[in-house]
Amino acid sequence: MAAAQGTADPALAAITAANAPDTIRQLEEWGVSFDHEGDDYYIFKSCFSNSPRTHVIKGHGEPIIAAMKKQIEMRNDRITVMDDLNVLYLLKTDGRAGGAVACQKGELLEIQAGAVVLATGGSGQAFKRNMNPADVTGDGYAMAYDIGAELVNMEFMQIGMGFSWPEENIFNGYIWEGMPRLTDREGNDIFEGVLPDGLTEQDVMHEHRKHFPFSSSDCSQYLEIAVQRAINQGKGTEHGGVLIDLTHMTDEYVSSLEDDCGIHHMWPIAREYMRRRTWIF
């Protein structure tokens, strides 16, 4: 509620918070494994949290998808799964959504339904640069809007810093605690001439450790401003970003840092991912 600065729906936030513990237990029963530290769950302070409450699953969302698929298979007497199917538009019956038309293996398919629930994800691909999977195209928004649904909360897009090369991916906030050096393609420090008096790049990165998304509510904003300024001045790299040096972030260095946002636990996982994907490191 505090992070949303008055824009979050209190009832919805309360439902999410109240249901989280049972959902975690349910996922565990279904075989999803959450990271532990000693006898307890590993939890850390992720974006804008004032206390640690974020759990970690190795493999990100994939174990959740695998567990849910298994549960669906166990209910196959009641659930019909139609895979490899692209829904094109919704059918309107008596002023309500009454089914959909889809394309499956080149054939058009009409599906009648008493009710329609869309779970087609967000619309990250509407942006030229983004870190979303290729199928996050906003199809559900468009299909619902086309038959007269009102779209709400469209302004809640998370815009944040990511890697542009060797692949597009998220740059988690905790990594900033490692104080990486950021330079333009000519090797100049990108913060030069950007920071207000009294603010150092260390202050900016230290603040940004608390959250991934861009925020104008704290001094971390100067990080994105410095990066974008370098790009706007034509000093960005051929991949549309700036250069970041993480080579100093050895185990020894990272374990010597103060950790209140998860860098000790999370950085080795991120670094392992980068190494597996043969990032230059």
Ligand X SMILES: Cc1cc2nc3c(=O)[nH]c(=O)nc-3n(C[C@H](O)[C@H](O)[C@H](O)COP(=O)(O)OP(=O)(O)OC[C@H]3O[C@@H](n4cnc5c(N)ncnc54)[C@H](O)[C@@H]3O)c2cc1C
Using CB under 6 A, list all residues that contact ligand X. Answer: 61, 86-87, 119-121, 131-132, 135-136, 139, 169-170
Residue with the CB atom nearest ligand X in the bound state: 121
DSSP 144: H
Q: How many Å apart are CA 35 and CA 97, to the nearest integer?
A: 41
Q: Are 169 and 130 in contact (CB under 8 A)?
A: no
Least separation, in Å, of the C-beta of 169 and ligand X?
Answer: 6
Q: Nearest-CA neighbor of 179 among 107, 82, 239, 253?
A: 253
Cβ nearer to ligand X, comparing 211 with 229: 211
Q: Is the dihedral of CA 270, 125, 153, 224 positive or negative?
A: positive
What does the block give as tokens for 114? Answer: 């008493």
Least separation, in Å, of the C-beta of 249 and ligand X?
Answer: 20
Q: Are 143 and 90 in contact (CB under 8 A)?
A: yes
Cβ nearer to ligand X, comparing 115 with 119: 119
Least separation, in Å, of the C-beta of 65 and ligand X?
Answer: 8
Cβ nearer to ligand X, comparing 71 with 250: 71
Cβ nearer to ligand X, comparing 131 with 242: 131
Q: Is the peptide bond before 166 cis (omega within 30 degrees of 0)?
A: yes
Rounded (10°) angle between helices 221-232 and 201-208: 120
Cβ nearer to ligand X, comparing 136 with 144: 136
Least separation, in Å, of the C-beta of 251 and ligand X?
Answer: 23
If residue 273 lies in a helix (H) or strand (E), which one and from where to where?
helix 263-276
Least separation, in Å, of the C-beta of 168 and ligand X?
Answer: 8
